Amino acid sequence: MYEEFDRENMFGAIWDFPKNLVDALKLGNEITLSQSYINIQNVVVAGMGGSAIGGDVVSILEKDNLDIPFVVCRGYSLPNWVNEHTLVVCSSYSGNTEETLSALDDALNKKAQVCGITTGGELGKRLKKSGEDLVIIPSGLQPRAALAFSFVPMVKLLEKAGVLEPGMETWIKHTIDALKEARELYCRESDENPVYELTQQVYNKIPIVYADNSTLGVAAVRLKGQFCENAKMLAYYNELPEFNHNEIVGWENNSNLFEHVFVFWLMDAHDNPRVKHRQEITQTVLNETGVDQYILEMTGNSFQERFLHMIHYGDWLSFWCAIAHGTDPSPVEKISRLKEELLKRI
């Protein structure tokens, strides 16, 4: 039984994703901004890991609603073009992510308009002290399990800042209902669950995730990260069409390694028509190498629903891979060790 290994209840955190969406929407609707955001010409989300992915999700779910550049910055500094017409959203679940705190200092030095999303920590303290808008989200989760609180309040914040036109309510309720139905199957520790069954094929291999960058590229990033953090497995991803201009050639030498690799194709009805042709041709090319391939495609009434369903599917897949390895999916000991060593080198 999974409870033997899941000592910090990642099962519950994944199960709660639909509820988190409900709670995050309520939180987002209650945001009251104290600052006036004037003449915003571009947006930068500064964050790392599970906090940065929230910005990625916003960029894809709201892409048809974004009329200005929207960039997710993973690092210590911001682009040189950031200025007083830039809105910088600092996203750090713990509030203590050193890269994000450094990016905050950079944003203030560049006279950007700044706000933040966090549970508190040093980021919360600094934003409160400087009088910037701050959205406080619930604590007690692993950052990667707090995805709903990373992206839904960000959408609402951007709506209230005048960057986005309101529109989330048109699709989110139906999406929540669909996810509630899907989790009833994905949570089962049996071969009746297609996610659990797929786990048995992939958990002892290296997953490589491919997707169209205009639709499910962000979902591929998320799945790769979940394999790494939850299942403690090496995993990689790439996007089409760029993949077809370099990586496809790499499927030639070192063929003795191909039996240890498992390729996922994340596909959606809204994939670019030319990319669909590329996917089909590339699958044929890879079939000739003998590598295992698997197509994942979700159904749903909207792209947003299918996208979040893909995210939820991948979260369960990474969870069951962890259990197959006899691993607790929650702790990230190597990240904790890295942070401890970095503190010694300040």
Distance, in Å, from the CA atom of 232 to the CA atom of 254, rounded to the nearest integer, reads 24
Distance, in Å, from the CA atom of 251 to the CA atom of 219, rounded to the nearest integer, reads 23
**SS3 call for 80:** coil
Task: Note whether 85 and 44 are within 8 A (CB).
Answer: no
Kindly state the tokens that stand for 188.
Answer: 């089962």
* Residue 264 CA, distance from chain mean position: 17
Whether 175-324 and 31-170 are alike in CATH topology: the answer is yes
Task: Note whether 275 and 240 are within 8 A (CB).
Answer: yes
Task: Kindly report the backbone phi and psi dihedral angles of residue 98, in degrees, each rounded to the nearest multiple of 5, phi listed first.
Answer: -65, -35
Crossing angle of the two packed helices 49-61 and 147-160, in degrees rounded to 10: 50
Q: What is the pLDDT of residue 337?
A: 96
CATH number of 31-170: 3.40.50.10490
Low-confidence ranges of the chain (pLDDT < 50): none
CA angle at 93 for the pair 213 and 323, rounded to the nearest 5°: 70
Fill in the DSSP letter of residue 304: H
pLDDT in tens, 270-292: 999 999 999 999 999 999 999 99
- Nearest residue to 129 (alpha-carbon basis) of 150, 114, 151: 114
Q: Which residues contact 240 (CB under 8 A, 6 or more apart)?
A: 210, 211, 212, 213, 275, 278, 279, 282
Q: What is the pLDDT of residue 346?
A: 81
Which superfamily is assigned to 175-324 in CATH? Glucose-6-phosphate isomerase like protein; domain 1 (3.40.50.10490)
Active site residues per annotation: 229, 245, 339
Domain regions of the chain by residue span: 31-170, 175-324
Kindly state the tokens that stand for 159.
Answer: 């709506």
Task: Note whether 198 and 225 are within 8 A (CB).
Answer: no
Task: Note whether 158 and 28 are within 8 A (CB).
Answer: no
Long-range contacts of 70-74 (CB under 8 A, 24+ apart): 70/42, 70/43, 70/45, 71/42, 71/43, 71/44, 71/45, 72/44, 72/45, 72/47, 73/44, 73/45, 73/46, 73/47, 73/103, 74/47, 74/48, 74/99
Q: What is the pLDDT of residue 139?
A: 96
Q: Could you tell me the pTM of the whole model?
A: 0.96
